[in-house]
A and B are shown apart, each in its own frame.
Chain A
């Protein structure tokens, strides 16, 4: 029994010996703390967990986790993590990225990792700004944003990350917020438990270059502005005083005082059409910001399919002999 006790890891086991170097007050601290707290609950050995990141503030994350870790280059984390996972499918592989790293320079890898349903847990810290390069607008910054690179306001139309993920054939799409600690923990757990590529967008406050970007979802009026989706349950928010009703494919907010619960849309995380509709509520002033699991289905994973294909080939052709292969084809002997 003593052996079992030894393997029961705690948060402390996942804290590396490196000093954390994010700005004081950064939302990343809360996400790191939650990851370190959640990891032991998954029952995985520390050595079987790998954190891979790209470049940006969030990408320093692996240095602070006492697991295997790889701080790679800008945008490439999903591709590098793909190699880690294919080479050893038994590993639990996590990708930590940001809105610039994941959606701008690394947009291609992000899209294709999800398309392949590569069993990676992608945590994208979205602060809607470039932090490490000191404050330029990002692909999720709102139109009109004034930054060092846009003194007259940004004229770029922002991406909608969950919509992009759904369009890329993702099998797990969720959103959470740095300051919603319990919710954040729950999303990490669901991401871990999903067998396939999972995408969790985390709204994260950059208190230096984009402070208060998510204030309406974390401040005193947060319950009026956020809807926490729960599979199989009616879509209620504002402490159940408001709900969402669907008129055709158009959503509208209704007061529960005047409506029956039967009028309210039921969340079904396996319904792709619904998922697209929900993803479109992002930053819509007339609708609450959706968080929670937007979409989740089971599909074969690339990593498992590759294992199966190799096993199939071995079964069909037998374990190969390299020497026989060298000697294959038309040969002749010189004596």
Chain B
């Protein structure tokens, strides 16, 4: 047809439209197909907190960004190459992000006066030439196209118009040479029994594909070859699903049933939803009356011998604080998961942030230390959740797992692990009295300082636990000053000893150099990409990512002193930064952007270059 194929390493595309336009679904379909094609990929869903903001409004714009590549990538990309804008508001919100010369695929049928006014355009940007100097604009009358494609189907006009996202999807599938069959099969499953809907969407997608093929606007198609990823079986996975699977794997390897006490909250609810479908694995999910009941019921279940978990986001952690202190005091294994979102207060419920680190470390009354682990990528949520369970059980302590909205909803290809090859989780319930015929519920393991887990139903080990300070060994109530000091110290030391379990810290790059990028949590990908770019350009820059923030790894201090500069990018005002500065007395600097979005790799590269001068 006279069209040329151009092979490129990677592409970043963004679908943007009204909340009702189905952008998350469209992005999801493109992602699945791209995963099957074998590219490495990373996604960034971005949607409003309102379920349905007024149609056409700026507040109601929903977007989905996807980067895919023939190389190993770590982020969903900074600026898209292609923007699909389904209405004026979507264009208004997202046009500034597109790379110069990028392609805009626009549904011109939505650019009517009312929508233009809503979006704050005084004249139609497609017609007034304001875009043409900067971008390649491809206007398509999508409403008209899908109406024609679906003619004759037994479907009302409104439903026909809803298929326009599949038209756009078809256009993109053509542009990047992706197969349609996976989406066709998905439609058949998703809308089983609704033949007209299946047919309409299938037709719309084909119409988009064929339109792009036929029209001369698209002169070039792009090929992104398969990525050479490590051998294995892969699937596409998002963070909340990976977290859920990690918990389930820990349940299997420990032999303990999961008890999840949880109260619905964005963006953590999907973990509750997912676990509740796994009843046949013996998973007990309890949707509690509030956040506090979520965590306290989990503490009760931990006391009774379950793998106890509570899931929430920052506002929920604030409510759970006192109860987490109780779990620390009674030294029971409990996994507390915070899928971080923008704060404070209600903040930005659907946006990502890393601003609950201080809350995780210090957000309780008294000296209340607990191990804190953070997941690095969507797929890593699996391992972080598994590890949180293992440490909780082995060390008899509550553990906080931090993920975030970006990891929770973002996705990437995931090399599926063998459950039987994961680190074992040993559970040793106390089952008999000590040699001297006594039972001491606060007697400690020499190595870990963990106390015995004696669950109700075990004969002769009846004992009482509680939130009042307990006497060493016996666990009786004690107000003795010396005992209190000793117990406060012991609880801190117990957390410190988790260090002994941790592997050597990996340094990406040289062991010394001009600058070290230090990261935690969801900024891993952007930091790793930035380090790659900087190293390729010959800079002496390395990257260290820390997984456990409490306790910090043993070898971190030794690593830090070998770099002239330390940069800590965080989506907060410098929470890890202050910890590192106070802990190691190093002059680390922060890169702190709190916009409810991931920090871009390009921003990190630029900051490093400025630092190095």
Q: Which residues from chain A sit less than 8 Å from chain B, CB to CB?
A: 16, 18, 45-50, 52, 55, 62-63, 66-73, 76, 79-88, 90-91, 108-109, 111-112, 306, 309-310, 312-314, 316-320, 322-323, 325-335
Contacts and interface: CB of A to CB of B under 8 A. Distances in A.
A83 B261 contact: yes
B464 interface: yes
B300 A47 contact: no
B140 interface: no
A318 B281 CA distance: 9
Kindly list the 10 A-B residue pairs having the minimum CB-CB distance in the complex, ordered from nearest: A83-B300, A71-B466, A87-B304, A83-B297, A313-B279, A79-B293, A83-B301, A69-B464, A87-B301, A112-B289
B278 A66 contact: no
Interface stretch (B229-237, B496-504, B577-585): B229-237
A208 B312 CA distance: 43
B248 to A, nearest CB: 5
B229 A52 contact: no
Contacts of A71: 464-468
Given A79-B300, A327-B233, A332-B35, 7 more contacts: A47-B462, A76-B296, A79-B293, A90-B457, A91-B304, A328-B235, A334-B234
Contacts of A320: 278, 280-281
Nearest to B476: A18
Interface string B378-390: 0000000000000
A309 B326 contact: no
Contacts of B456: 47-50, 68, 84, 88, 91
A64 B491 CA distance: 26
A63 B232 contact: no
B299 interface: yes
Contact of B457 (A88, A317, A333): A88
8 contacts: A48-B456, A48-B457, A88-B304, A91-B457, A325-B278, A326-B416, A328-B235, A334-B229
A87 B457 contact: no
B570 interface: no
Contact of A86 (B234, B297, B465): B297
A82 B286 contact: yes
B293 to A, nearest CB: 4
Contacts of B419: 322-323, 326
Contacts of A76: 292-293, 296, 323
Contacts of A328: 235
Contacts of A87: 257, 259, 284, 300-306, 308
B461 interface: yes
Contact of A47 (B288, B326, B460, B465): B460
Given A79-B297, A108-B293, A326 B245 contact: yes
A231 to B, nearest CB: 31
A108 B292 CA distance: 10
B443 interface: no
Interface in B261-286: 261, 278-284, 286
B32 A330 contact: yes
Given A84-B301, A326-B419, A332 B38 contact: yes
B423 interface: no
A72 B466 contact: yes
Contacts of A313: 279-280
B280 to A, nearest CB: 4
A72 B476 contact: no
Given A71-B468, A72-B326, A88-B304, A331 B234 contact: yes
A90 B182 CA distance: 48
B296 A69 contact: no
A331 B35 CA distance: 8
B268 to A, nearest CB: 19
B458 interface: yes
Nearest to A109: B293
B89 to A, nearest CB: 33
A334 B232 CA distance: 5
B455 interface: yes
A112 B283 CA distance: 22
B323 A73 contact: yes
Contacts of A326: 245, 249, 416-417, 419
Contact of B290 (A16, A108, A310): A108
Contacts of A329: 235-236
Contact of B293 (A68, A90, A112, A333): A112
Contacts of B306: 83, 87
Nearest to A14: B462
A86 B292 contact: no
- Which of B35, B228, B278, B292 neighbours the largest number of chain A CB atoms within 10 Å of its CB? B292
A330 B182 CA distance: 9
Contact of B296 (A73, A312, A323): A73
Contacts of A70: 300, 303, 330, 464-466
Contacts of B248: 322, 325
B279 A84 contact: no
A326 B382 CA distance: 10
B477 A83 contact: no
B246 to A, nearest CB: 10
Contacts of B114: none
Given A327-B235, A334-B234, A52 B300 contact: yes
B402 to A, nearest CB: 23
A108 B35 contact: no
A319 B300 contact: no
Contacts of A310: 279-280, 282-284
A217 B75 CA distance: 72
Contacts of B236: 329-330
- Which of A45, A73, A80, A331 neighbours the largest number of chain B CB atoms within 10 Å of its CB? A80
Nearest to B307: A87
B459 interface: yes
B36 interface: yes
B316 to A, nearest CB: 14
B35 A330 contact: yes
Contacts of B194: none
Contacts of A49: 456
B557 to A, nearest CB: 37
Nearest to B417: A326
A334 B416 contact: no
A156 to B, nearest CB: 23
A329 B296 CA distance: 35
B552 interface: no
- Which of B251, B257, B303, B467 neighbours the largest number of chain A CB atoms within 10 Å of its CB? B303
Given A73-B322, A332-B35, A47 B234 contact: no
Contacts of B436: none
Contacts of A63: 464, 466, 477
B298 interface: yes
Contacts of A68: 456, 462-464
B121 to A, nearest CB: 40
A316 B232 contact: no
